[in-house]
Amino acid sequence: MKEIAITGVGVHSPIGLDEASVLDSLLALRSGIRRIDIAATGKAYAVGLIEQDFSERFPKMERPLLDRIAQLAVLAAQQASENAGIVNYSTFGERAGVFFGTARGGVTTEWAASQEFMESPAKTARPYYLMGSMPNSGAAQISIRQQIVGPAVTHTSACASSGLAIADACRHILCGDLDIALAGGSESTVQPGVAPIFLRLWDALRALAEVADDPATSCRPFSHDRTGLALAEGAAFFVLESVEHARRRGATILGYVCGTGVASDAYHMGAPHPRGQVAAMRSALRSAGIGIGDIDYVNAHATATREGDGVEVAAMKEVFGDDSARIPVSSTKALHGHMLGAASAMEALVCLLAARHSFVPATAHLERISDDCLGLNHVRQVVRERPIRYAMTLSAGFGGTNSALVLRAHDPLARA
């Protein structure tokens, strides 16, 4: 496909609230995973939590409509727009759009409504509960605040949601419907109030990491002693434009989305299958018009679940063949946790930072590789300095939806 320019990035995550702080955390292998104790379940969990209240940044009258997920989305999208030199999108008219990914939507608001009903079932419901809990509330709030009058589309395909949002935005630009788009995702299921129910549900799947003596090391992708994932909250957004449009308005191009791939396992709601991941990666390579030999880094979906990591390794080995032992692979979820619907966008940002600053992120806490994860060029515990031409990120969601993105930097920067 024709490359799509990236002219702005924004992020709020457990390892940083902007591009610079995320970069610092990746280079220093600084973890945002910590322990929380849930009285309702009598258990401790390892989560990626942003320990900051952002509600004060919004007018008091508007806060009831702004679930935590929408707050994170609005702030990351605003940061991306400012990074791209855009005050608002009104000057672009219908040629601008917003594409949003989330797995769960406004669960904090939904939980508050449920609690209020249980306590006072006869009480008239607050009308903003419905609007604040809708999955598209993040996209709508961004559209309203940024004056984006083109499409405002929400993708809810589990952990691949924001990857699909980015791919959809690229397609709208490529087919000529749009000149510019905000694309990314947001999630928040580990805040007090909603955390007990969501952690309990994930625990029932036996998917959550056991809390280590050092909680920051609880999530260990690809490791022989991995025990599961660390749920996390956060948001990441990109400003995407046609190259021609970016040049016309004098924008600084940070990098490019070069290829996208979307595919389904068509297998099981909860268990992954390699074929969907294989198809997504191959589709991304085809649309980028590059070969396997051009890929210099893969940011894996690897959440540190017992089954998932091994299936993904099998998929990568099938796609990369003899290059499997050459292409550096890592999972940065060991640091920032699993941000569900925002994971694809967060990890695409990691790929862009790696390509721009000429380094390969490492999988933290990976000492001994599990037998079912052997055969790849794992980057373990130490960041590697090297130029990256093309980086790929892969995401796999419940129900078998997979997304793959290929990115490259416009002008790689020398590492400080």
Q: Which residues are known catalytic residues?
A: 159, 301, 338
Q: Where on the phi/psi map is residue 158: left (φ > 0), alpha (ψ -120 to 50), or beta?
A: left
Letter string b/e over residues 321-330, b meaning 16 or more CB atoms within 10 A of that residue's CB: eeebeebbbb
Q: Which of 79, 146, 64 is nearest to 113 (CA)?
A: 64
DSSP string, 212-249: PSSGGG---TTBTT---B-BB-EEEEEEEEEHHHHHHT
- Cβ atoms within 10 Å of 293's Cβ, excluding its own: 13
Q: Where are the beta strands (DSSP E) in 265-369?
A: 295-299, 328-330, 359-360
Q: Which of 351, 393, 153, 409 is nearest to 260 (CA)?
A: 393
Q: Where are the beta strands (DSSP E) in 41-91?
A: 43-48
Query: Bridge partners of 44?
Result: 37
Distance CA 398, CA 187 (A): 16
Distance CA 26, CA 357 (A): 11
The dihedral through the CA atoms of 171, 177, 178, 183 has a sign that is negative
Between CA 37 and CA 377, with CA 15 as vertex, the angle to 5 degrees is: 105
Distance CA 367, CA 29 (A): 14
Structure tokens at 108: 């904090």
**Burial class of 56 by CB neighbour count within 10 A (0 to 12, 13 to 18, 19+):** exposed
Cβ contacts of residue 312 below 8 Å, gap of 6+?
272, 274, 277, 300, 301, 302, 394, 396
**Burial class of 173 by CB neighbour count within 10 A (0 to 12, 13 to 18, 19+):** buried
